[in-house]
């Protein structure tokens, strides 16, 4: 088993720790394979809410006819990650939902 871990920020902003298996791949290959891409919203324009949107349940409650919204789509983009020593990961997992890393420190690579 490796003495290193792969860390990245997940979609809800918390730190994820990937413990690599001894599978014959390098840590970089494991990260490229197992760190999920991030979904990024790409704005392509604006739309206007219609009564049909409201009646069809396509908008949140409280949104009114004539309100504008962003049109667009989601694209998969590389997610930054970093390979660290296992000793850098806190041993006490009771507060692991509070673990944080500055995403600027995740400069080692990016998943595809």
Instruction: Report pLDDT digits (tens) over 59-81.
Output: 888 889 999 989 999 999 889 99
Which residues lie below 8 Å from residue 90, measured CB to CB, with a gap of 6+?
96, 99
- Rounded Cα–Cα distance for residues 71 and 89 (Å): 40
pLDDT at 107: 67
CA-wise closest residue to 18 among 101, 63, 82: 82
Inter-residue contact 85 to 4 (CB < 8 Å): yes
- Is 111's pLDDT higher than 60? no
- Is 5's pLDDT higher than 90? yes
Collapsing DSSP to helix, strand or coil, 112 comes out as coil
| Cβ neighbour number for residue 78 with a 10 Å cutoff | 13
Inter-residue contact 59 to 48 (CB < 8 Å): no
């Amino acid at each position: 088993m490796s003495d290193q871990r792969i860390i990245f920020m997940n979609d809800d902003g918390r730190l994820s720790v990937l413990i690599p298996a001894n599978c014959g791949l390098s840590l970089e290959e494991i990260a490229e394979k197992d760190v999920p891409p991030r979904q990024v919203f790409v704005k392509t324009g604006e739309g206007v809410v219609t009564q049909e949107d409201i009646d069809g349940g396509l908008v949140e409650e409280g949104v009114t006819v004539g309100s504008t919204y962003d049109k667009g789509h989601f694209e998969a983009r590389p997610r930054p990650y970093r390979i660290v020593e296992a000793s850098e990961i806190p041993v006490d997992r009771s507060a692991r939902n509070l673990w944080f890393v500055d995403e600027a420190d995740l400069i080692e690579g990016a998943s595809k």
